[in-house]
């Protein structure tokens, strides 16, 4: 019997997969657990429409991430911090502060865990950062640390 999985079933496959199983397995396990539905022509058409919508949504997310990456790469993010006379900071600039600065300056909300810096920034200057936006898109931007006035 051909069925469409509505949930992940370890030995068979993931959600949305069409598999051929024995009638007893489908009737006694998959259907009562609501893990599968019969692969009727209507259900197959519905599955095809869901997959098409999923691909369209994913393409839209990739386009949005590329737009954000372009915007981040073209700008320099300025972060103000207290500094001593020799240019050393009192503390460090963290990825959370960089995320807040991106939100203030560009209006973009970025998770602080997606910002990668080599160690913490401990002196005034310009430093490279990588921001992982998902879908294998990485924006390389610069953070300029200036003395707090």
What DSSP designation does 144 have? Answer: E
pLDDT above 70 covers a percentage of the chain that reads 100
Are the C-beta atoms of residues 134 and 60 closer than 8 Å to each other? no
Give the chain's mean pLDDT: 93
**Burial (0-12, 13-18, 19+ Cβ within 10 Å), 145:** buried
Token reading at 69: 């990456």
Which pLDDT score, from 0 to 100, does residue 85 have?
85
pLDDT per position as a tens digit, 54-91: 999 999 999 999 999 999 999 999 999 999 889 899 99
Domain positions in the chain: 2-65, 75-147
Which residues is 123 bridged to in the sheet?
A: 88
149 has pLDDT over 80: no
- Distance of alpha carbon 78 from its chain centroid, rounded? 24
pLDDT of 72 reads 93
Write out the CATH class of domain 75-147: alpha beta
**CATH architecture of the domain with residue range 2-65:** 3-Layer(aba) Sandwich (3.40)
């Amino acid at each position: 019997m051909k069925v469409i999985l509505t949930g992940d079933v370890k030995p068979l496959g993931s959600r949305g997969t069409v598999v051929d199983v024995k009638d007893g397995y489908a009737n006694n396990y998959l259907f009562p657990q609501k893990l599968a539905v019969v692969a009727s022509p209507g259900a197959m058409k519905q599955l095809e429409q869901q997959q098409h919508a999923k691909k369209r949504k994913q393409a839209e997310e990739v386009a949005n991430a590329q737009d954000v990456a372009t915007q981040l790469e073209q700008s320099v993010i300025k972060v103000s911090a207290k500094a001593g006379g020799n240019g050393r900071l009192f503390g460090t600039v963290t990825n959370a502060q960089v995320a807040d600065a991106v939100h203030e300056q560009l209006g973009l909300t970025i998770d602080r865990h997606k910002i990668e810096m080599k160690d913490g920034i401990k002196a005034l200057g310009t430093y490279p950062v990588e921001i992982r936006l998902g879908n294998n898109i990485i924006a390389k931007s610069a953070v300029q640390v200036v003395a707090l006035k």
